[in-house]
Amino acid sequence: MSHKNILKNLAIIMDGNGRWAKERGLIRTKGHEKGADVIRDITQYCAEHKTIETVTLYAFSTENWKRPKYEVDFLMRLLDSWLKKELPTYHKFGAKFETVGDISGFSKKLQETIASIKQQTAHHTNVTQILALNYGARDEIVRAVNKLISQDIKVTEESLGDALDSPYTDIDLLVRTSGEQRLSNFLLWQLSYSEFYFTQTLWPDFNALELDDIISQFYDVDRRFGGI
C-alpha cells in the first residue's frame, strides 16, 4: 500500500492522567502511574513501524512546577523508577532514549538515571524515544539563541534549528489526548508544518490501536507546505 505522506517524526502530548484518576475516584497520582504504562505500548508500535524515526513525548513542562509539591515529587520519583524498570523494554524494542528540555533543574540522582539510560540505549536504531522533561518551547528557543550569541554565530533558520535541544527535526504529526486543543508550550519551532490530531481519549486509556487509526488518517492528508 502506498501512502501520500511518510511519517518520520511523531510527537504526543500525553494529557488527561488526572481526569482519568478523578473519574475513578482515585488520587491523581494513580493516573500518572497508569499513564506511564501506556508509553511501553506506544514505544513498541513506533519501533515496529517502518518509517517512524522519532517519537517525542511531553512528560513534564516548565509550567508543571506550579503543581502541588506532592504531585511534582511523585512525578520525579515515578520518572526515576519508571526509567530503571523500562530499560529491558528499550533493549527489547531496539529503542534509543533521549530527552529534550532543561534537565539541569532535576535532582542529581534523577539526572544520573537519565544519563545512564541514554548511554545504555545509545546503540539502538529502531526508534528514538524522546521524553520532553522540564521542557518549554520558549525556554528551548531562548537557550538556543543564547548559545548562538555566546558562540558569536549569526542567527539563521538553520543555525537556530541546529542549536535547539538535539536530536531534533520537524514534527510530521502531533497528537494530543484528553480533548484539550492547545500546545501548552510544546515544540513551537518544530511544529511549524505539522499535522494536528486531537482525541478525547484520556492518556491512560490511549493505545497503539488508536494511534494506528490516527496515523492512517495522516497518510491521506494533502500536505502542501505552502505550494499548490
From the list Mg ion, ligand IPE, none, pick the one residue 19 interacts with, judged by a Cβ distance below 5 to 8 Å according to partner type. ligand IPE
Catalytic residue among 5, 41, 64, 102: 64
Catalytic residue among 9, 15, 134, 172: 15
From the list Mg ion, ligand IPE, none, pick the one residue 14 interacts with, judged by a Cβ distance below 5 to 8 Å according to partner type. ligand IPE
- Does position 172 bind Mg ion by CB under 5 A? no
Binding site for ligand IPE (CB under 6 A): 13-19, 58-61, 64, 75, 178, 180, 182, 184
Q: Is 146 a catalytic residue?
A: no
Q: Are 47 and 35 in contact (CB under 8 A)?
A: no
Instruction: List the one residue out of 190, 226, 227, 223 whose CA is nearest residue 10.
Output: 190
Closest CB to ligand IPE among residues 19, 118: 19
Q: Is 102 a catalytic residue?
A: no
Q: Are 188 and 138 in contact (CB under 8 A)?
A: yes
Closest CB to ligand IPE among residues 137, 164: 137
Closest CB to ligand IPE among residues 159, 184: 184
**Alpha-carbon gap, residue 104 to 101, rounded angstroms:** 9
